Amino acid sequence: GQSLEQPSEVTAVEGAIVQINCTYQTSGFYGLSWYQQHDGGAPTFLSYNALDGLEETGRFSSFLSRSDSYGYLLLQELQMKDSASYFCARRAGNMLTFGGGTRLMVKP
Amino acid sequence: ETGVTQTPRHLVMGMTNKKSLKCEQHLGHNAMYWYKQSAKKPLELMFVYSLEERVENNSVPSRFSPECPNSSHLFLHLHTLQPEDSALYLCASSQTGEYGYTFGSGTRLTVV
């Protein structure tokens, strides 16, 4: 199958750290991507993991465990502008299949 | 113009109308995609054009018809749509060997 599971909603306060988890089905799996989408906006690419481990890009990090079919997006030093939906996406060949998205609300 | 441009941004059409959505990418990418985004649902891949080869999701109804005249332009032709087809239609492009897709801002379609 192609499905990905992630929580529908997460709330955190400004300055905190939040982790958004994603589990996926392994058939034909190449790697896991993360995208951010603000309301009314286009999804924008954040990160990609093909191998196990942690990839860090500024305040955002992404982790993959292929043996556990699991990954997460870690957002540190949360800012109000980080309020958005975050999607994990499973890559198989040149195609991406997306999870349902996690709506992150950052409160003051 | 940079990135991926979609027109129109908003479209309201009746069930008997025929319309087309347009997507243009200015990134030199060699693959383009149509996705459908409905409320409370994952982004659904509709069509892929990669190196001029078309791949489609077999669950997409025939009332949606894609056209890719060259690597920079992608169209989605719509006819006799249903109200449940109301959604945000997103175009994206990518380059073989690179990991990220670049999305357009989408066309918000309402079928009445």
Pairing mode, strands A9-13 and A102-107: parallel
Query: What single letter denotes the amino acid at residue B44?
Result: E
Would you call B94 and A94 a contact, using CB atoms and an 8 Å cutoff?
A: yes
Instruction: Read off the pLDDT of residues B13-54 as tens digits, 9 standing for 90 and up.
Output: 998 889 999 999 999 999 999 999 998 788 999 999 987 677
Would you call A42 and B94 a contact, using CB atoms and an 8 Å cutoff?
A: no
Token code pair at residue A63? 């982790």
**Facing A98 at nearest CB: one of B31, B43, B48:** B43
Q: Which residues of A touch B100 (CB under 8 A)?
A: 33, 45, 48
**Facing B90 at nearest CB: one of A42, A95, A101:** A42
**Rounded CA separation A61/B85 (Å):** 36
Q: What is the reported pLDDT for B53? A: 75
pLDDT (tens, 9 = 90+) of chain A, 108 residues, equals 458 999 999 999 999 999 999 999 888 788 999 999 999 899 999 999 999 999 998 999 999 999 999 999 999 999 999 999 999 999 887 788 999 999 999 999
**Rounded CA separation A103/B40 (Å):** 11
At residue A84, the 3 state secondary structure works out as: strand
Token code pair at residue A47? 């990160």
Q: Which residues of B touch A33 (CB under 8 A)?
A: 99-100
Q: Which residues of A touch B102 (CB under 8 A)?
A: 45
Helix, strand, coil shares of chain A as percentages rounded to 5?
5, 60, 40
Query: What percent of chain B lies above the pLDDT cut of 70?
Result: 97
Residue of B nearest to A49 (CA): B99
